Amino acid sequence: MGRKVKSKASQACETCRSLKVRCLPSSQPDTCLKCANSKRTCVFLERQPRQPRQQKQKHSSKARIRALESKVDSLVALASQSQLIHGQGPSQRELGLLENGLSTYSSSSGHGVQDSTPSSSPDNSTNLNPLGSPPYKWDGFPKISGVSCPELLIECGLPLDSADGFLSRFRTMTSYFPFFMVPSHATVLTMCKERPFVLVAALAAATSSDKKLQKSLGDKFRTWALHAVMVHNERSLDLLNGILVYLAWYHFYYIPKKEQFNQLLHIAIGMVGDMGLNLRPAEAMNRKIGLRLTHYHKFSTPSANHDEFFCGEARRAYLGCFYLSRTIGWVTRKPNSIPFQSYMLECARSLGQELEYPTDALLLPLIQLHNMAEVNHRSLSTVGNTIRDHMDGLDLEMKVQSFQAEFRQWEHSLPLIWQQPNGMSLACEVAVMHVYEMDLVNVSATKMRQRADYLKDSTTSSFTSQSQLEVLFLCLKSAGQLAQNFLSIPTSEYGSLSYTEWSGITYAIFIIYRLTVGIPQLRDWDVRVARTTVDFDCVLDAFCNRFNSISLGDDAILENGDLFSIMGSIFENIKQSYDRLKLLPQKDSADDTSPVHATSFLPSTFGHALQHPCPTFQT
C-alpha cells in the first residue's frame, strides 16, 4: 500500500499564508498542493514558539465590594475634610452622590418638645457618622418606593437615637388600644427590618409633642401604605398593623372635610379577608386564602391547637379591625363592615389564656362588651320605633332590665384594676350610651324626618312615649358619667388616648348637647330635667379650661390643623352655640337655622377675613 497523504499541513507555507488559503500537502516532499500546481517554490519559515498566557489574579466578589467601599469611604472623608477646612459642612445631596446610595444624616431641630418627651433636636442626638468613619449602610433594610425605613426617618428629621425614645413612649400608649403591642426586645433598627410600616405609624402617633415631625411621619406613612397596597398589591401583617395603628390615633391626622378614616379602614378590613384572618388556619388553607403570606403560627413541636388559631399578632389585628369599625360606626352612623363572629370570642379568649402581654386580658371583655351593646341596641331600637300600646312599653322596660343584668354580670367579671377610670371605663359608658340611645338622638336626617311624621300620628300613646323618655334619661346619665370619667384623666395623658376615646367623648358631648337643648321630634322631652341632671355649662367650662391650658395657640395650626390641635377651639364654639341656643324655645332650639357657627368665633381668632371662622368648615 502507498503512503497515506496528510489531509492538512502542520504549518502553512508563505504563499498560502499570503493568499489566506488552506495549505494542503502534495505528493512531492516539502511542497504543498498549491505550489506544486503553480510550479512555485514552497517556502516554510521557522515557527516562533508561542509565549504562555499569563493567568490574571482572580478576585472574589466580596473582595471587590470591599475595595469599592474603601474607595467610596476615602472620597467621602476627603470631601468632608475639604469642606471643613473652608468652614462648610458637607450637604446631604453631596454625601448622597458620593456614597452612591449609602446614607448619612444630620439631625434637625424639633419644635414644641417638652423636657419629659423624647427630643429630635441635635443636642440630644449622637453622631452616627463621625468624620473619618464609613457612613451607616442601609443596604440590608427593605425598601418601599425606593427608600428604606431608616432613610425615611432621617428624611423626616428624626434621628435614630431619638426614635428609640419615641418608640418607648408608644409602648406606654398601647394600653388605650391593646390590639397591637411592640415586642419587648424590639428596637428601632430591628423594626426597620421586620416591621417598617408599623414602626413609622407608631412613631407618628408618639411624636404629638412635635407637630411638624408628626405631620411629616404621618404623610410619609400614608404615601407608603397606599403605594404598597395600590401599586404592589402587598398583603402583610406589618402593613395591616401599620394601618391599624395609624387609624387608632387618627385624631392627629383628622382634618375636617379631608378625612380618610373609612377608606383606610376598609383597606384594612379587606386585607383581613384576603389573608384569611377571619377564618381558622385549616379553613383558610382549604379555601386557598393567604397561602403565600407569612402570618401562620409556626410551632416547633406538635400541638393540638395547630389548626385553631393564627399567631397572636394576627389575632389581635383581626380583633382590632372589628373594634375600630364597630366603635367609630356607633358615632358616625356608618355601617360596620366586619360583622361579629363567634370566632372572635375564641381568638380573644385564647389570647387571654396565653397572656403574651398583660393587656391581652382586656381583649375578651372588650369584644364581649361591643357585641352585647350592639345586640341590645338593636333590640331596644326595634321596640322603641314601633311602640303602639301598653304591652310594647312593658316590653321595652323588660329589655332594659335584661340588659342591665347582663351588663352587671359582665362588669363583675372584670379584674379590679380595669374598673378604674381609664380606657375600659370610657368604653363601658360609650357602649351603654349606644344601647340607650335607641336611634332617637344620634340619627340621620332622613330617619329624623320619618320619626317626626310618626309622632304626628294622633294615635301615639303618651304612656308608651314615657317609656322611651325614661330610657333616654338613662342615656343622658351615661353621657354625663363619661364626661366626668374623661375629666378625671390627667391632661398629660391626652396625647396617649386613642381615636376611640376621643370619638367616645365626642359622642357624649353630642348626646348631652341635643338632650339639653331639645329635640323637636321628641315633643315630650323636658330639657329642664336634662339640664338639672347634667350641668352642661360646668362640663363645657371644664373642657375649655383644660384644652386652653394645652392649646398650641398657633393661627396656622388653627386654620389647617388636625382634630386634636383644634379641639380647644371646637369646645369654645360648642359653648358659645349652647349659650345662644338654650335661650330659645324648645321647639325652635334644635332646628334653628341662623348661622350659629358662623358667628361663634371672635373676629380676632383668625387673621384672614375670608377664612371661615369655624374649624369644621376650613379647607
pLDDT for 99: 36
CB 244 within 8 A of CB 179: yes
User: Domains of the chain: which residue ranges?
Assistant: 11-42, 143-254, 383-455+465-602
Residues across the chain:
619
Q: Which residues contact 171 (CB under 8 A, 6 or more apart)?
A: 182
Residue 614: predicted pLDDT: 46
CATH architecture under which domain 11-42 falls: Irregular (4.10)
Whether 200 and 221 have beta carbons less than 8 Å apart is answered as: yes
Q: Which helix (H) or strand (E) holds 143?
A: strand 143-144
Angle at 241 between CA 233 and CA 435, to 5 degrees: 115
pLDDT score at 120: 54
Residue 556 class from Cβ within 10 Å (0-12 exposed, 13-18 middle, 19+ buried)? exposed
Q: Which contiguous run of DSSP H or E holds residue 354? A: helix 342-354
For residues 266 and 258, what is the distance between their CA atoms, to the nearest angstrom? 16
SS (H, E, C) 57-91: CCCCHHHHHHHHHHHHHHHHHHHHHHHHHCCCCCC
Beta carbons within 8 Å of 290's beta carbon, 6+ residues apart: 235, 274, 275, 276, 277, 284
Query: Whole-model pTM?
Result: 0.72
Give CA–CA dist 222/597, Å, rounded: 32
Residue 199, CA atoms < 13 Å, CB-side half-sphere: 22
CA of residue 151 relative to chain centroid, distance = 19
List, for the chain, all residue ranges whose pLDDT scores fall below the cut of 70. 1-9, 48-60, 62, 73-74, 76-137, 291-307, 383-392, 416-423, 444-465, 550-562, 585-619
Report CA-CA distances (Å) from 305 to 86, 281, 578.
68, 10, 57
Asked if residues 582 and 275 have their Cβ atoms less than 8 Å apart, the reply is no
Q: What was the pLDDT predicted at 318?
A: 96
Among candidates 268, 365, 282, 284, which has minimal Cα distance to 318? 268
**For the CA atoms of 575, 535, 513, 497, what is the dihedral angle to 10 degrees?**
80
pLDDT at 600: 38
How high is the pLDDT of residue 197?
A: 95
